[in-house]
Amino acid sequence: MNKPIRRATILVMALFALLFANGTFIMVFQQSSLNANTLNRRVRDEDFAQNRGSILAGDIPIAYSEPTNDRFKYQRKYSNGALYAPITGFFSYDHATTALENSYNGELAGTDDSLFVRRMVDMVSNQAPQGASVQTTIDPDVQKAAADALGDQKGAAVALDPKTGAVLGMVTSPSYDPNKIADHDVSAANKAYQKAATDKRNPMSNRAAREIYPPGSTFKLVTAAAALQKGLTPDSKVESPNRLLLPGTSTYLKNENGMSCGGDKITLTHALEVSCNTAFANVGLDVGSDALREQAVKFGFDSRHLDDVGGVASRFPDELNESQLALSSIGQYDVAASPLQMAMVSAGIANQGKVMEPYLVSSVRSPDLQVLSRTKPKEVGQAMTAENADALKQMMVDVVDNGTGTPAKIQGMGVGGKTGTAQSDPNRKPFAWFTALAPADDPQIAVAVMVEDADIPRADIAGGRLAAPIAKAMIQAAVKQ
């Protein structure tokens, strides 16, 4: 072989080696990123044509795939779409996936490693691959009761099992219909998405777990817990003037409507019953910012919860001066919480001070119903002693029996609760809150309700009036008397 031919041969061999190396590099190291590339329509077409598994609430499939005669083979459907949209999310062609459709995408699509054997069986038997089903913890009765009671009001409601952390209900209003965004008419689906995404009412916002708001007087439960942990009792007397000069300022903190709380000194229980601002501001100043912040963190503040649906962390501010501490003690200043977080506070009190991590999915099952994974309840921590939790629970019962929470009363059942009316901006209406637990003797449910924008006069907005009846409906749906 002469020298030119030998050089040409070596060059061709080198080019083949480089081609082989490049192909190997793409298949091994770039496959995932190329598959995920939004411009890769072949992969997207293949994904959109999969027979995805169902998402269930009880025995109701709230998301499922239905055979079609078009090029995508299977249409994703959502029963009661707007009701469960914050939980299921959507599966769309151009806008990917959200909520459980996203966090359990591998299992639902059948591509997760836990379904490897099943995929091999389907391939050998020439069967179309099927995805796993995802069983949620949602109680359909609680979910419907919350939505019906909330109605067209902008807001959210959450219900938890205090003993396990299982989410029994999670509703946000207004909502959207994921069926329209999942439609096989891609142009129509894109229009539906743009309409929902640009709607000023933010129907795609999960107000229950992904948004935080000033919790107002519902936060007084955290302040009361810190006070009990410091040594106060429900019968301890606390200073409760008609107005309190905020330390270091010329501003006075007043009670609701500028009213007296019943005397210059009242018991901690009575302060909670009438939601006395000045009393709890004084309690917070006595407890101190470090202890109050630590108490909030023990209930779950400053940590994310429900990653499955993109839950965000609630917030208790750092480096407070005394006036800021006084306001923070009544759930104002920069304190911000999701309805989920305030449900966790009531759940921790209901569960003898033990706070459980919330979860939305109880199990994942293969197409032949074998359990692939099961969620085990997980403890966040002990927020307060069992004795103090029982004492605070009874104080919450007194709020419903004798105080601001009477609209949540249920005949024949002990209900504990706390109202809240939170001011965020002088130019907007306050938020109406209510958080509760029931039955008081053996709590099976803890709830939090937030009404963001009620269509009533500003002066009529109050947690007891607006939010407590919604919580009551949820409790009645969960606890069969």
Is pLDDT of 457 > 50? no
Is pLDDT of 415 > 70? yes
State which of 23-32, 65-74, 117-126, 305-314 shows the largest mean pLDDT: 305-314
Q: What pLDDT score was predicted for residue 120?
A: 55
Q: List domains and CATH numbers for the chain.
A: 216-478 (3.40.710.10)
Tell me how far apart the terminal alpha carbons of the chain are, to the nearest angstrom: 96
Of 103, 217, 240, 323, which residue is the catalytic one? 217
For range 218-222, the mean pLDDT = 98
Contact 474, 155 (CB under 8 A): no
Q: What pLDDT score was predicted for residue 53?
A: 93
Q: What percent of the chain has pLDDT over 70?
A: 86
Q: What pLDDT score was predicted for residue 122?
A: 54
Say how many C-beta atoms besides its own lie within 10 A of residue 25's C-beta.
Answer: 10
Cα atoms in the Cβ-side hemisphere of radius 13 Å centred on 418 = 34
- Catalytic: 217? yes
For range 103-119, the mean pLDDT = 76
Strand-strand pairing, 252-254 and 243-245: antiparallel
For range 118-123, the mean pLDDT = 54
Q: What pLDDT score was predicted for residue 1?
A: 55
The pLDDT tens digits of the residues spanning 168-208 come to: 999 999 999 999 999 999 999 999 999 999 999 999 999 99
Contact 97, 105 (CB under 8 A): yes
Q: Give the C-alpha distances (Å, rounded to integers) separating 400 from 6, 67, 118, 415, 473.
A: 94, 51, 53, 7, 15
Say how many C-beta atoms besides its own lie within 10 A of residue 233's C-beta.
Answer: 12
